[in-house]
């Protein structure tokens, strides 16, 4: 069956209307996967707290590794099931720690996910929130070495994919939390989450994703529906484990492995919010002349087509239109044939 391998990105921590909350870009991902037959996306799109979806057409790739894939440095290899290990931040409370162990048991007994080992870090990760000048969510961890060392212990036990559960301090201002829950603000913790998962991807080169350990909040009656997935449970780990269960292996290129399922050169398009065209994956696709489907999806970034010297940007109003464009590309239907007015062929003379 014909496919159109496509990268789908909704950047973390920039407050996108779709994809800036708790898995609220999953419906868009499912639609784009149906229209392409092959979608490569990242945890920010697919993680919905206690909720997630499984689709054989969707490849779950952490953001740092997704950028490497777009640059042509790694290929993706399907697996039947990953051997998942969990890193727990040593500063997580005893009660929260045991809650997450129960999540692991539930995912094994109910979903059949293969969880084989866990480790606690020797030192607290030391999460620090730090907003960027652009207003995007940001931050860092004070002890990155202890995270890497914990991951190395898991790999020595044969673990092939890693989930990280870190202790997030209750330092966010009530105003920020309230605005986010009302759908009016950037997710302040997502920037640090990306830093944590990027570290594992960069140094250990295995599929990974992050779940924060946060204290439950009081019920809020005027909650934005996009934030609701984070409110229905005390943990974000289930969606991470569901994503990692069949996340593809990352194969350094060039490689003699003939079982690689998707090579970067096979990617035929990339879908990204229209104001977020400056990311590494987008720039890598532009270098290769790949069509960029820029979807109107408001965020705090304004790096749009006017700032990019690239003629192959297709601007669309929503993900419905994006799916139609992708389906047209997949089926070899010229986009101009579906638009009115149609420019006469006599105007295409080469001078």
> Same CATH topology for 6-78+251-348 and 84-247?
yes
Q: Domains of the chain: which residue ranges?
A: 6-78+251-348, 84-247
Architecture of the structural domain at 84-247? 3-Layer(aba) Sandwich (3.40)
Mean pLDDT value across the chain: 94
pLDDT, position 343:
85
CA separation, residue 203 to residues 100, 261, 307 (Å): 25, 23, 33
pLDDT, position 173:
61
Which residues make Cβ contacts (< 8 Å) with residue 9, sequence separation at least 6? Answer: 41, 42, 45, 66, 270, 271, 272, 273, 276, 279, 281, 282
Which two tokens mark 149? 């060392």
Average pLDDT of the residues in 209-235: 88
Average pLDDT of the residues in 286-301: 96
- Range with the poorest average pLDDT among 120-129, 217-226, 279-288, 332-341: 217-226
Q: Is the pLDDT score of 171 beyond 70?
A: no
* Nearest CA among 323, 331, 327, 329 for reference residue 30: 323
pTM, entire model: 0.95
Architecture of the structural domain at 6-78+251-348? 3-Layer(aba) Sandwich (3.40)
With pLDDT > 70 as the criterion, what percentage of the chain qualifies?
99
Residue written as token pair 């934005």:
224
Return d(Cα 208, Cα 247) in angstroms, integer. Answer: 9
What pLDDT digit, counting tens, does each position of 127-140 carry? 998 877 777 888 99
């Amino acid at each position: 069956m014909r496919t159109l391998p496509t990268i789908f990105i909704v950047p973390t921590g920039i407050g996108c209307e779709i994809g800036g909350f708790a898995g609220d870009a999953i419906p868009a991902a499912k639609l784009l996967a149906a229209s392409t037959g092959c979608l490569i996306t990242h945890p920010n799109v697919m993680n919905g707290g206690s909720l997630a979806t499984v689709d054989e057409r969707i490849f779950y790739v952490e953001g740092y590794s997704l950028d490497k894939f777009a640059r042509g440095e790694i290929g993706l290899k399907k697996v039947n099931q990953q051997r998942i290990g969990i890193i727990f931040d040593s500063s997580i409370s005893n009660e929260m720690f045991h809650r997450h162990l129960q999540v692991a048991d539930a995912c094994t007994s109910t979903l059949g996910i293969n969880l084989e080992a866990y480790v606690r870090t020797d030192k607290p990760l030391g999460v620090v929130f730090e907003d960027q000048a652009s207003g995007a969510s940001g931050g860092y961890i004070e002890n990155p070495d202890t995270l890497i060392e914990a991951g190395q212990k898991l790999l020595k036990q044969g673990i092939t994919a890693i989930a990280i559960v870190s202790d997030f301090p209750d330092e966010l201002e009530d105003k920020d939390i309230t605005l986010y829950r009302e759908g009016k603000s950037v997710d302040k913790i997502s920037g640090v989450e990306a830093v944590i998962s990027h570290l594992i991807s960069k140094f250990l080169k295995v599929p990974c994703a992050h779940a924060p350990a946060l204290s439950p909040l009081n019920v809020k009656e005027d909650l934005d529906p996009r934030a609701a997935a984070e409110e229905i449970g005390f943990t974000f780990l289930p969606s991470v484990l569901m994503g990692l269960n069949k996340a593809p292996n990352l194969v350094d290129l060039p490689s003699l492995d003939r079982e690689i399922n998707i090579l970067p050169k096979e990617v035929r398009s990339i879908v990204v919010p229209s104001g977020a065209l400056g990311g590494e994956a987008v720039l890598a696709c532009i270098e290769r002349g790949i069509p960029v489907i820029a979807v109107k999806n408001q965020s705090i970034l304004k790096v749009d087509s006017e700032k990019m010297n690239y003629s192959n940007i297709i601007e669309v109003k929503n993900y419905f239109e994006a799916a139609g464009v992708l389906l047209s590309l997949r089926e070899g239907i010229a986009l101009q044939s579906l638009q009115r007015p149609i420019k006469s062929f006599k105007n295409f003379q080469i001078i």
